[in-house]
Amino acid sequence: MPQAEIFVNGPAHDQVVGADCRLAADYCRHNENTDMITWNGGIWLVHRTAISQQLGPNSALHVYESTDHGKTFQQKALIPAPTDRDIRDPCFFIVGGKLYMKALERLPNTTMTRDTGVDTVSAVKTSADGVTWAPDTVVAPHGWSFWRVKENAGVYYSAAYQDGDLQVVLYHSTDGLNWTAGPQIYGVSADTPLETELTFMPSGKLLALVRMDGDDAELLGDVEPLRTKICWSDPPYSSFTCPQEFDTQRLDGPLSFFWQGRLFVIARKHLVGTGKKRTSLFEIGGTLEGGPLTIKEWGQLPSAGDTSYAGIAMSDPSHAVTSWYSGDLALDQPWVTGIFAPTSIWLGTIDFSKLQ
């Protein structure tokens, strides 16, 4: 990473009482949940702003465009949360030349333990210019959280996890607005399955990396094993098998992408025994057409406290602009403290030619 810098400075907006996170001209102290996409000749960026990671309607999504390959970004839109719900976990995708964005809207909840009691609404917003956004289209029954949307052969897919983190199910759509539930990807509720990243292999085989928070001892990611379930499906994706798991890395907030036939993931890394987290770049190796798979960490992005949930967009054949969020690097707080502390949006460049 030859360069990395803060884009939105959370500590500079460290106000709690009276702060209005729904104003387009300002930010709040806790900035998180990024995503990026290349669209209409520009690079688009989105992130959440709020007082903390706690659920609440005093939150919004900021949308930006870069027309200079990610060197600078200009704000194009602000999408406030509904008046009675939180908004978070945005994800861009493109349908018919329009920019679409999935987001999760949840009832306020002070514990957030295993996403219980939050009545999640998975909503999709659409825009022809990135500035004006149409009202929400609810794309799943209440209580189901879409993760990232991926397209394959003209069909859109997302892995959705059930409130309470009880199971993960595959949804599909041909237009991005009307979605149908398909097979269960993983359903061992004792493993607390949630954010599940989908990756389509060149053959069409589908890989699902299932974050598993586990039992009460494993929940905070501070004890081993740190587990990610590896599940596979063949077209037409009517069933999944899960023959393997990583037992050294739990990939929170995973983002997967290919570069020159190599599969990478940016996700949260857990520093066992410290309560601290990092955002790291991993490479998935092994047999990419069905496994078994291996995982290698290439390095950590500047990160501490509450961190991860990255976005990425290629700026040239060997460089990618990357977004993520992080707490104060010098304080290096434990995650359970960091979720209530200021966090900043970071932008960096990954030079893939250095990954030999």
Which CATH number characterizes residue 331's domain? 2.120.10.10
Of all residues in the chain, the percent with pLDDT exceeding 90 is 97
User: What pLDDT sits at residue 120?
Assistant: 97
User: What pLDDT sits at residue 25?
Assistant: 84
The parent domain of residue 125 ranges over 3-354
pLDDT at 11 over 90: yes
pLDDT at 65 over 80: yes
Over range 117-145, report the average pLDDT: 97
Domain tally, the chain = 1
Please report which confidence band the pLDDT of residue 113 belongs to, taking 50, 70 and 90 as the band edges.
confident
CA separation, residue 97 to residues 100, 127, 131, 216, 273 (Å): 9, 10, 15, 45, 47
**pTM for this entry:** 0.98
User: What pLDDT sits at residue 123?
Assistant: 98
Exposure of 287 in the CB half-sphere (CA atoms within 13 A): 7
**Sign of the alpha-carbon dihedral angle for 104, 257, 191, 237:** positive
User: What pLDDT sits at residue 108?
Assistant: 95
Please report which confidence band the pLDDT of residue 198 belongs to, taking 50, 70 and 90 as the band edges.
very high
Q: How far apart are CA 23 and CA 198, in angstroms?
A: 34
